[in-house]
């Protein structure tokens, strides 16, 4: 029974593994998966939690604030009135206060008008969280370059394997023909050996290609946290190149400017008066009754005005500092756009060069293929040696490899161009 259960579990595991293994990949999915599984993405949730808690804390400023205070003092001399008032039928005397006094009280304070401090603090917390989120987006955006290296490296090897398979088929066809000629005594065994050696060389290349592809696929699998088979299909649709820059750095600069705007408003808010209602109750020696030196309970309530003028001294300088920070952000933005445009110009020139090279590659492949076909006919007719034919075959293979390399490089450069522009 245990063996049966183990077998069932293995079959279930294999089923789910197969179901979760994508049969094909496109680069946009790789971008998304790489971003989702990258450890730093956890910061996104932490930033949102921080935003939630800080804004919530700021909102609690509208709630009544309760505090308990107490003090005990010894003073010398004490307040005393050294005489009494005698009125016919009435004798008034003033109490004598002790040197020891104490006061324990609780106070309830309710904000009525805070000058907009709480509102601006909430906006400041929101703006700060936006800056952190955009800074994280900038860091995560760099993942695309790393995905490109792995994806297009594997894509190039896939194309090389296809070309290698065609080359082996051509060689095997020629071997079959030469083998028949050797059997009939019409060709030398050395000619057959030369073709077989060339086939073995191509088989060695196939092993190298497959090993390299496996390494790329394994690294890509780890990067996107998805199980991948070695023969997974890689889909790379054509790219529409756009010059419009939409990088996350620009949103970061906007968030930083917004944060500075909020800070400017915070400076103005700090200079406004604040009103609140308070209620205080406690037990003190002496109480509020000045004619009673005994301890007593008491309460007092009313309105409180608070207006701090110290910030007026530094207000101008604080605003100047924020203005300087905004200018620095503008300089950073201009520098980023300048460097990005330079990179786009260079990448655009590389794309144009590769397009020209590909056009030449196609012409070369066409002519090399024609030469190979003629050489094959000449070989069959006995007008050239087998070595000459193999040389022409190798030249055609090199031309096709060059075409494949340039085509994949063009596609990769187009994606890099899009990543540089943020599209």
- Evaluate if residue 11 carries a pLDDT over 60: no
Higher pLDDT pick, 361 / 379: 361
Please state the rounded mean pLDDT for residues 234-253.
81
Residue 256 confidence (pLDDT): 92
Please state the rounded mean pLDDT for residues 44-60.
77
pLDDT band of residue 88 (cuts 50, 70, 90) is low
What is the number of alpha carbons within 13 Å of residue 24 lying toward its C-beta?
Answer: 6
- Evaluate if residue 342 carries a pLDDT over 90: yes
Residue 82 confidence (pLDDT): 62
Q: How many CB atoms lie within 10 A of CB 216?
A: 22
CA neighbor of 253 nearest in space, from 124, 137, 131: 131
Answer whether 364's CB lies under 8 Å from 395's CB: no
Query: What distance in Å separates the CA atoms of residue 314 and residue 321, rounded to the nearest whole number?
Result: 11
Whole-angstrom Cα Rg for the chain: 42
Residue 144 confidence (pLDDT): 85
Residue 362 confidence (pLDDT): 93
Residue 345 confidence (pLDDT): 92
Residue 365 confidence (pLDDT): 92
97-102 long-range CB contacts below 8 Å, 24 or more apart? 97/286, 97/293, 98/285, 98/293, 99/74, 99/75, 100/72, 100/73, 100/74, 100/285, 101/72, 101/73, 101/74, 101/75, 101/284, 101/285, 101/286, 102/70, 102/71, 102/72, 102/73, 102/284, 102/285, 102/295
Lowest mean pLDDT, pick from 54-58, 163-167, 226-230, 260-264: 54-58
Residue 309: its H or E element? none
Report pLDDT digits (tens) over 92-143: 666 677 778 889 999 988 888 888 888 888 888 888 888 888 888 888 888 8
Residue 10 confidence (pLDDT): 45
Residue 346 confidence (pLDDT): 93
Please state the rounded mean pLDDT for residues 258-268.
88
Q: How high is the mean pLDDT of the chain?
A: 82
Answer whether 58's CB lies under 8 Å from 262's CB: no
Token pair of 269, please? 């808010």
- Evaluate if residue 359 carries a pLDDT over 90: yes
Q: How many CB atoms lie within 10 A of CB 390?
A: 19
Residue 339 confidence (pLDDT): 94
pTM of the model: 0.73
Query: What distance in Å separates the CA atoms of residue 362 and residue 403, rounded to the nearest whole number?
Result: 7
- Evaluate if residue 361 carries a pLDDT over 90: yes
pLDDT > 70: percent of the chain: 89
Report pLDDT digits (tens) over 276-316: 998 999 998 888 877 777 888 989 989 988 888 777 777 88
Answer whether 287's CB lies under 8 Å from 97's CB: no
DSSP string, 45-67: HHHHHHHHHHHHHHHGGGS-EEE
Please state the rounded mean pLDDT for residues 48-77.
82
Residue 64 confidence (pLDDT): 86
Report pLDDT digits (tens) over 205-231: 999 999 998 998 998 888 888 888 877
Report pLDDT digits (tens) over 19-33: 456 778 888 888 888
Q: How many CB atoms lie within 10 A of CB 275?
A: 14
Please state the rounded mean pLDDT for residues 38-52.
76
Lowest mean pLDDT, pick from 215-219, 270-274, 323-327: 270-274
pLDDT band of residue 80 (cuts 50, 70, 90) is low
């Amino acid at each position: 029974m245990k063996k049966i259960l183990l077998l069932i579990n293995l079959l279930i595991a294999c089923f789910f593994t197969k179901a979760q293994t994508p049969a094909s990949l496109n680069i946009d999915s790789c971008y998304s998966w790489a971003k989702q599984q990258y450890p730093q993405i956890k910061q996104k949730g932490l930033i949102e939690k921080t935003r939630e808690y800080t804004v919530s804390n700021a909102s609690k400023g509208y709630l009544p604030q309760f505090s308990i205070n107490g003090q005990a003092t010894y003073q010398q001399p004490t307040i005393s009135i050294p005489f009494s008032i005698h009125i016919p039928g009435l004798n008034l005397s003033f109490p004598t206060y002790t040197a020891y006094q104490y006061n324990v009280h609780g106070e309830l304070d309710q904000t009525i008008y805070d000058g907009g401090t709480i509102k601006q603090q909430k906006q400041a917390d929101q703006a700060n969280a936006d800056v952190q989120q955009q800074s994280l987006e900038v860091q995560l955006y760099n993942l695309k370059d790393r995905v490109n290296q792995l994806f297009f490296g594997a894509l190039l090897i896939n194309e090389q394997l296809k070309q290698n398979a065609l080359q082996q088929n051509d060689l095997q066809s020629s071997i079959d023909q030469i083998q028949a000629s050797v059997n009939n005594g019409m060709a030398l065994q050395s000619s057959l050996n030369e073709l077989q050696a060339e086939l073995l060389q191509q088989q060695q290349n196939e092993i190298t290609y497959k090993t390299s592809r496996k390494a790329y696929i394994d690294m890509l699998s780890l990067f996107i946290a998805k199980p991948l088979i070695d023969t997974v299909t890689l889909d790379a649709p054509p790219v529409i190149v756009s010059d419009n820059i939409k990088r996350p750095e620009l949103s970061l600069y906007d968030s930083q400017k917004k944060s500075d705007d909020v800070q400017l408003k915070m400076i103005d808010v700090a200079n406004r008066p604040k009103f609140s209602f308070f209620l205080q109750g406690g037990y003190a020696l002496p109480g509020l009754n000045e004619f009673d030196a005994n301890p007593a309970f008491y309460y007092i309530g009313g309105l409180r005005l608070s207006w701090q003028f110290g910030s007026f001294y530094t207000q101008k300088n604080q605003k100047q500092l924020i203005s300087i920070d905004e200018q620095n952000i503008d300089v950073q933005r201009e520098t980023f756009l300048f460097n990005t445009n330079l990179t786009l110009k260079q990448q655009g020139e590389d794309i144009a060069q590769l397009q020209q090279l590909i056009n030449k590659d196609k012409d070369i492949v066409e002519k090399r293929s024609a030469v190979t076909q003629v050489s094959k006919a000449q070989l069959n007719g006995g007008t050239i040696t087998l070595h000459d034919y193999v040389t022409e075959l190798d030249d055609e293979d090199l031309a096709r490899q060059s075409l494949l390399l340039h085509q994949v490089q063009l596609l990769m450069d187009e994606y890099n161009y899009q990543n540089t522009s943020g599209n």
